Structure 1
């Protein structure tokens, strides 16, 4: 699927997704395809996520260095709940986590960034 919209937000945006991963463009015009990725307002990074039941703060550490309100968690093909220990640890930091399937998370990322929300995203591969 391709997501067409003008660049309404600063930072990397997901422009499409498919079997190969998420197509992300950066403000400098470069484009990359990531099977799984971490997104902040300033960067997109390749991610090798653990199984969802083992997801912890360490796996999300690259996101936690920036001031964020919450993390959009794309859990693959279907919505899966993150471990309660992770949710609690993030809540202690004042950070929420919103799980959804990875397609919805990729779309939500662009909408939330267009609203200039302080959000980060962690997207599991679409085949998981």
Structure 2
């Protein structure tokens, strides 16, 4: 699915997504990413949902977002509570959803000027 960027927002924008890829600012990515609404796009070391560990959540916290959207792949899955506790302790809000829903929600929040971080798992086709 292709999405149209908002040329006035100045934020990183998800411009497309599908099985095995996502597109940020019209550049395709086929690996997990951490995407800040107003900053860096970096490869996230999480290779799959089942591989999520405490260090993956520490990467999110280090970026000091207001809110984290965690895209868990093709379906919504919930990380272990002990992993989410790090976000709670850091007083960072979070939402967990499938990756496509996370992309759509990210674009809306980034367009509103929110300090949002998208932590997205891209599953291979």
Q: State if a TM-score over 0.5 links the two structures.
A: yes
Measured after TM superposition, the shift of residue 64 of structure 1 is 2.2
Residue 28 of structure 1 corresponds to none
Gaps (5+ residues) in structure 2?
none
Measured after TM superposition, the shift of residue 9 of structure 1 is 2.5
Measured after TM superposition, the shift of residue 113 of structure 1 is 0.5
Residue 27 of structure 2 corresponds to 32
Matched ranges for 1:1-128 at <5 A: 1-25=1-25, 31-35=26-30, 36-40=32-36, 41-127=38-124
Point out which structure has higher relative CO (alpha carbons under 8 A, 6+ apart): 2
TM-score normalized with structure 1 length = 0.83
Residue 20 of structure 1 contacts residue 33 of structure 1 at CA under 8 Å; is this kept in 2?
no
Q: d(CA) in 2 for partners of 1:74 and 1:101?
A: 5
Q: d(CA) in 2 for partners of 1:19 and 1:53?
A: 18
